[in-house]
Each structure stands twice: as C-alpha cells, then as structure tokens.
C-alpha cells in the first residue's frame, strides 16, 4: 500500500516572513516533480480549510511555516509537533474555537486530532522569522535564503516516509 502524504504551507504573505510556508510550497509545486502520493495544500491562514483537507485521509502531514523558536532569523527547524502536545480537553478545544482561522499550526493539529483526522505522522518544517508584525510583502533576506534548505528538508522527509 502506498502512503498518502500532504505538504501544507501556512502563513500570510502580506506579513513579511510569515509567508515562508507559502513560498516553500510554491517552490515545491513549481520546480519539483513530486511523487503521485504527495499532495500540496496552500493553507495560508485558513487552518479550518487544512482540517477539511485532512478529512480526505492522509498517512502523514508535513506543515511548513514560520516558527518562533528564539533562534537566528533563517534557521530551519524540523519538528514532530504531536510528540510535544498535551492531551486535548473539551475546554482547550472550546478556547481555541475563538480563532476560526486557526492560523497557528498547533491549533489546527488539535482540532484535527479531536476530529480523528490527524495523520499518525506529523512534521513541522519551520523557519525562524525576522519580521512578521506589519503589512509587508516579501521575505527578509535570511528567511528568503532559507527557502531552498526548507525545500530540501521537505523532500528528505517525503523520501524517508515513502520508503517506510
């Protein structure tokens, strides 16, 4: 049986480095021949749409997004976010429902898990942003330079997952 993978780019291209995930999935779509088992989804800031996409049934999810980890701008992180999540209570789920966009990947994953549509394998390929506060289009130079490295990390994860 062939594994079915989803690569989802999250972020807002109108908020500077927050558009990192979108730029990475654009690069993957434009310049790489991905295996048939891989779907690309540009989630933007609409996490609810990503949860709906997950209802199509995937074995693994790779989320690409800007992540605040306190490192140097442009630093790439590959994380397995579900390993670090706490148990989802009805109260926590209700509190997170206030933001219907679910722009935060952890909220998207919490809802997907609560609805039993979260894939068993979830990875986050993130980049430390430099600037995400105001309406600024385009990535800052260190984050823009990190896009090819993030693409390599995503492709390596895809290769690894499809070999299992």
9 Cβ partners below 8 Å, 6+ apart?
21, 22, 23, 24, 25, 26, 40, 41, 42, 43, 44, 64, 65
CA–CA dist 6, 55 (Å, integer): 11
Residue pLDDT, tens place only, 9-28: 999 888 889 999 999 999 99
Residue pLDDT, tens place only, 28-53: 999 999 999 999 999 888 778 899 99
133 against 6, higher pLDDT: 6
- In this prediction the pTM is 0.86
Q: Which domains are seen in the chain, by residue range?
A: 5-163 (3.40.50.1450)
């Amino acid at each position: 049986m062939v594994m079915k993978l989803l690569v989802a780019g999250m972020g807002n291209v109108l908020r500077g480095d927050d558009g990192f995930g979108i730029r990475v999935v654009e690069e993957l779509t434009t310049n790489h021949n991905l295996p048939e088992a891989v779907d690309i989804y540009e989630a933007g800031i609409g996490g609810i749409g990503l949860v709906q996409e997950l209802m199509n049934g995937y074995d693994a999810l790779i989320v690409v997004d800007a992540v605040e980890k306190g490192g140097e701008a442009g630093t790439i992180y590959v994380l397995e976010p579900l390993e670090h999540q706490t148990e989802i209570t009805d109260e926590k789920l209700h509190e997170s429902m206030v933001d219907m966009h679910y722009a935060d990947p952890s909220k998207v994953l919490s809802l997907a898990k609560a609805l039993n549509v979260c894939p068993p394998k979830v990875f986050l390929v993130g980049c430390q942003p430099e600037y995400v506060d105001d309406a600024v289009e385009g990535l800052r130079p260190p984050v823009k330079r990190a896009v090819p490295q993030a693409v390599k990390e995503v492709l390596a994860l895809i290769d690894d997952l499809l070999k299992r």
